[in-house]
Amino acid sequence: MVDKDPVVRIVTLEKKKPTRLEKFLSQVMLFLENVIKVPLFRCQRCGECILSHTAFVCSQRCPKRLRNGPCGGVGEGGTCEVYPERQCVWYLIYRRARLLGRISLLNRIEKIHNWNLEKSSAWLNVFTKRIEPPVFFIRRRDQDGTERED
């Protein structure tokens, strides 16, 4: 069984005034993310990055901003139900995840989004432990994505 708490755990932003160093870091990180993540992954700057779980395709491009998999309206060949001229991002995620052997990460139940983090720097949020660090490597035995009873 998966621990239920992570789904609903929310870390709110500290109320204390940010130091000058933090302000500076935040600006640098945001700049870097804007020039790297936005063009590369079409990052939507949710501040709670799960790119590493979703095979490096930004799930927040979904019109419903789904974080836990595709809705029931995906058409044949993976068209989006809301904008039929677009591809469903979750369809892309699934294809990419299979290619990269990262299906097992799709099994994770993503936490409820913390809107306080919207438009903040996800990288800074990782360092300040507001969000979980990205997962880069997965064990070979987990790459096929079959669930195992632990």
Interface positions with another protein (CB under 8 A):
1-2, 4, 7-10, 63-78, 81-82, 90-91, 94-95, 103, 106-107, 109-113, 115, 145, 147
Residues 6+ apart with CB under 8 A from 33: 43, 45, 121, 122, 123
Position 128, amino acid:
T
Nearest distance, CB of residue 46 and another protein, angstroms: 12
Alpha carbon distance 26, 30 (integer Å): 6
* Of residues 28 and 100, the one with the C-beta less far from another protein: 100
The sign one gets for the Cα dihedral 107, 99, 73, 45 is positive
DSSP secondary structure code for residue 149 in this structure: -
* Of residues 90 and 123, the one with the C-beta less far from another protein: 90
* Of residues 30 and 58, the one with the C-beta less far from another protein: 58
Nearest distance, CB of residue 139 and another protein, angstroms: 18
Nearest distance, CB of residue 145 and another protein, angstroms: 8
Alpha carbon distance 119, 140 (integer Å): 35
